[in-house]
Structure 1
Amino acid sequence: MEVDVKLFGDLREGRFEQEKTQLEENSRVIDVIKKCNLPLEHVAVCFVNNCQAEFGQVLEDGDRIAFSPPVGGM
């Protein structure tokens, strides 16, 4: 399946701003974090299809995932 991944803030450094990526069926948000080589402690907020999500959420083909680092009081 294919999902669209967007990174915000410092998570973009040395990576990308937005890209499509291929995943196995029944992949979870945590699998995207690992595939993008994001340090888990640097991911403060995750959204799937514009709704806040947990790292264990199962993804579906075409989902839009966004990751944000801690900012300000986060």
Structure 2
Amino acid sequence: MQITVKFFAGFREGRFKVRVIELEPGISVAQVVQKYEIPESEIGILICNGRHVELTGKLEKGDVLSIFPKVGGG
């Protein structure tokens, strides 16, 4: 199945901004995060098709997964 993965801010470094990727059906958000070697502790928010999703969420054909890092500052 194909999904679209979007990285934001610092997660783009050494990766990409947007890419359509091929995955096995039933893959979880956590498995995509692991595929790109993103430490879970650095994730700020995960959005799938415009809605908040947990790492345990399952992805479906055509989903758009956006991965945002934690943001600091003041």
What TM-score, normalized by structure 1, do the two folds share? Answer: 0.91
What RMSD over aligned residues (CA atoms) do the two structures have, in Å? 1.2
Secondary structure of residue in 1 paired with 2:41: helix
Name segments (4+ residues, structure 1) moved above 6 Å: none
Residue 43 of structure 1 and its aligned partner are, at CA, apart by 1.2
List runs of 5+ in structure 1 lacking aligned partners.
Answer: none
Query: How many residue pairs are counted as aligned between the two chains?
Result: 73
- Unaligned residue ranges in structure 2 (runs of 5+): none
Task: Give the corresponding residue for 1:57.
Answer: 57
CA distance in 1, matches of 2:2, 2:38: 19
Q: Which residue of the partner structure matches residue 23 of structure 2?
A: 23
Given the two structures, how large is their TM-score scaled by the length of structure 2?
0.91
Identity level (%):
34
Measure, in 1, the Cα distance between the counterparts of 2:35 and 2:18.
14
